[in-house]
Chains A and B, each alone.
Chain A
Amino acid sequence: MSVDKIWVLAEVVDGAPITTSLELITQARSLAGTVEAVAWGDATPSVAATLGEYGVTTVHDVGDLGGALPGVPVAAAIAAAVAAGAGPDAVLFPATYDGRDIAGRLSAKLDRPVLTNVVDLIADDGGLVTQHAIFGGTQVVSARFTGEGPGIYVVRAKSFPAEPSGGAPASAVAAPAPDTGATNAARIVARHVEERTGPKLDEAAVVVSGGRGLGERDSYALIEELATLLRGAAGASRAIVDAGWVPYSHQVGQTGKTVKPTVYLACGISGATQHLVGMKNSKNIVAINKDADAPIFSVADLGIVGDVHKVLPKLIDALKSRG
């Protein structure tokens, strides 16, 4: 299977394409001669310039979804283009909620399998080879599709850098979703945004995360205070998100955010494989845990064997006294 044309799902949030989509477009440029994007919503005309800057020539615009969840209509629009012979050799999806939904739907529609949790995509022998991190990133599996295309790939955030290529604005073409009847009946009736202050978790240079070792919900204030003092963002393990101590938007890991800060501080976090997968590529890792055998120490550049209730307050006081 030779790869001439790649489509990338350009998810738009707050009027701009998400960074993971730009990362995928950047990588797609090095894999195929033609890179096109699929987008929906009313912002497509205004994001066409940004997408063009990263190398996209054409945006297939599914248009307004009328409050429907994107999974069904966007997959149907892509499948229609493939059926009409205008489709790509590969479609790349960011590993977001909607990205996964659309990829799964598309897979069943086209009767093609999906490769998920991709962390690298390499051109090989005319086709694409994917890499997947398993066992908390200690091993790497390479895989590829056999048989007819297009290949469907769901790629994790921060697998590639996002670099503009200085291209001209992309041209938008309408790619309306065909009628999918009752399958497309789920509707968004209200949206709720949880307020966050400070830098975004997946963009901050410093991330301070807390886990079950904090002992109780109120102790998360230590994490937030330390994050603020370091001008960073506060993160969490799934254990304390499930326990309801902090909102889900704080979660780092397999099902949460992928972060790659200059420094990641893991406080009272054991280092389960599903947590490691979301932070292991941080440039520097500091872990504070009272158990010297905690797996988090195997990825830490600096490990403090100690009690978070002793170390964190002292650390916070020392930083405060520096002014």
Chain B
Amino acid sequence: MNVVVCVKQIPDPAAPPALDAGTKNLVRAGKLILDDSDAYGVEMALQLADAAGGGEVTLVSMAPNGETSGLRTALAMGAAKAILVSDDSLAGTDALGTAKVLAAAVKRAEPDLVLAATESTDGYTGTTPVQVAELLGLPSVTFAKKVEITGNSVKVERQTEAGYDEVESPLPALVTVTAGVVEPRYPSFKGIMAAKSKPVEILTVAELGLDAGEIGAAGARQEITQVADAEARAAGEIVVDEGEGHQRVIEFLEQLKVL
């Protein structure tokens, strides 16, 4: 079984970017890393390929500057190969443009199953995967907290407001997984060494056969008009608990007439 995992490479969230109020661009520095949200998809893909008795896990990513460090992490976990789309004309691409690029790249791998995260850490639009599914004419099941393959179909426990639904779909299909669906493995030393020589195909927009006018800043049909500071909450009262902290909470609740 061939599984494609869409993996986003993002700036380290531990060093959060700032938004430049003048240019309205995110100011970022440093190497990109594998989005934590996508580590679950990679792990899930590896487990499903294993359970199916073989098959390949292919990574698909779109990132600037031919960045592969996040892909290497996922390759070290055990993915077989990667397709990276990197092209200067992609700067400023919106979620739909990203979906067009990812869809074109995913198609090349002819997968039985496409996995993505329910939302990325830095973009969190949560719409890119279903847009990819629609562009490829695939059924999709979002918010999976459990995924199983039986024969030619995928069975998913999909989170709902009230609990979960059991959903079934024939393959090929796209599934988005939540954090917590599986416990991502740490790459082993052997895995890290092996990842260095695994194939990463780097493609441009033209090589994917996409029209450059449809993507990048030229294709984006939304714009940021303003960035402003939110109204700050007034500083609160801080009490260090020395055994009586709970009393202050009770007084506070009484003040609010909750008690």
Taking CB atoms, residues of chain A closer than 8 Å to B163 are 191-194, 247, 249
Q: Is A80 an interface position by the 8 A CB rule? A: no
Taking CB atoms, residues of chain A closer than 8 Å to B168 are 186-187, 189
Contact A263 B256 (CB under 8 A): yes
Which of A47-55, A217-225, A237-245 lines the interface with chain B? A237-245
Contact B180 A194 (CB under 8 A): no
Which of B65-73, B191-199, B237-245 lines the interface with chain A? B237-245
Q: Is B149 an interface position by the 8 A CB rule? A: no
Q: Is B246 an interface position by the 8 A CB rule? A: yes
Of the listed residues B97, B99, B167, the one surrounded by the most CB atoms of chain A closer than 10 A to its CB is B167
Q: Is B186 an interface position by the 8 A CB rule? A: no
C-alpha spacing A101/B124, complex, angstroms = 14
C-alpha spacing A107/B173, complex, angstroms = 19
Q: Is A112 an interface position by the 8 A CB rule? A: yes
Nearest chain-B residue to A315 (Cβ)?
Answer: B246
C-alpha spacing A144/B163, complex, angstroms = 35
C-alpha spacing A188/B16, complex, angstroms = 39
A100 with B126: in contact, given A129-B225, A187-B167, A263-B253 (CB under 8 Å)?
Answer: yes
Which of B42-50, B56-64, B154-162, B200-208 lines the interface with chain A? B154-162
Taking CB atoms, residues of chain B closer than 8 Å to A249 are 161-163
Q: Could you say which of A100, A108, A181 contacts B99, with CB atoms under 8 Å apart?
A: A108
Contact B239 A133 (CB under 8 A): no
A139 with B19: in contact, given A255-B118, A303-B238 (CB under 8 Å)?
Answer: yes
Nearest chain-B residue to A297 (Cβ)?
Answer: B238
Q: Could you say which of B130, B138, B180, B241 contacts A310, with CB atoms under 8 Å apart?
A: B241
C-alpha spacing A322/B246, complex, angstroms = 14
Taking CB atoms, residues of chain B closer than 8 Å to A129 are 225
Q: Is B27 an interface position by the 8 A CB rule? A: no
Tell me the smallest distance from the CB of A83 to a CB of chain B, in Å.
15
Taking CB atoms, residues of chain A closer than 8 Å to B223 are 143-144, 146
Q: Is B222 an interface position by the 8 A CB rule? A: yes
Q: Is B23 an interface position by the 8 A CB rule? A: no
Contact A97 B180 (CB under 8 A): no
Contact A139 B229 (CB under 8 A): yes
Q: Is B12 an interface position by the 8 A CB rule? A: no
Taking CB atoms, residues of chain A closer than 8 Å to B240 are 292, 304-306
A299 with B233: in contact, given A141-B226, A183-B134, A230-B258 (CB under 8 Å)?
Answer: yes
Nearest chain-B residue to A242 (Cβ)?
Answer: B180
Taking CB atoms, residues of chain B closer than 8 Å to A192 are 163-166
Task: Encode A134-157 as 1/0 by CB contact (under 8 A) with B.
Answer: 110111111111110000001000
Tell me the smallest distance from the CB of B206 to a CB of chain A, in Å.
20
Q: Is B89 an interface position by the 8 A CB rule? A: no
Taking CB atoms, residues of chain A closer than 8 Å to B119 are 254-255
Tell me the smallest distance from the CB of B110 to a CB of chain A, in Å.
16
List CB contacts (< 8 Å) of A269-319 with chain B. Answer: 280, 284-286, 288, 292, 297-307, 310-312, 314-315, 318-319
Contact B226 A113 (CB under 8 A): no
Taking CB atoms, residues of chain B closer than 8 Å to A104 are 126-131, 134
Contact A107 B127 (CB under 8 A): yes
Q: Could you say which of B142, B165, B247, B256 contacts A191, with CB atoms under 8 Å apart?
A: B165
Contact B139 A72 (CB under 8 A): yes
Contact B162 A241 (CB under 8 A): no
List CB contacts (< 8 Å) of A109-147 with chain B. Answer: 109, 111-117, 129, 133-135, 137-147
Contact A188 B180 (CB under 8 A): no
Task: Encode A28-41 as 1/0 by CB contact (under 8 A) with B.
Answer: 00000000000000
List CB contacts (< 8 Å) of B72-95 with chain A. Answer: 94-95
Tell me the smallest distance from the CB of B249 to a CB of chain A, in Å.
6
Tell me the smallest distance from the CB of B112 to a CB of chain A, in Å.
14
Contact A145 B222 (CB under 8 A): yes
Q: Which 4 A-B pairs have the closest CB atoms?
A: A306-B241, A104-B130, A108-B134, A242-B180
Q: A residues touching B (Cβ–Cβ < 8 Å)?
A: 13, 69, 71-72, 75, 96-97, 100-101, 103-105, 107-109, 111-117, 129, 133-135, 137-147, 154, 181-194, 205-206, 230, 238, 241-244, 247-249, 254-255, 262-263, 265, 280, 284-286, 288, 292, 297-307, 310-312, 314-315, 318-319, 322
**7 residue pairs bridging A and B, Cβ less than 8 Å apart:** A107-B95, A114-B125, A140-B229, A182-B139, A189-B168, A191-B160, A303-B238
* Contacts beyond the supplied A69-B167, A187-B168: 19 A-B pairs with Cβ under 8 Å: A97-B161, A103-B127, A105-B134, A114-B125, A139-B19, A140-B227, A142-B225, A183-B134, A186-B169, A187-B167, A189-B167, A242-B180, A263-B256, A302-B249, A302-B252, A303-B238, A304-B239, A312-B246, A314-B243
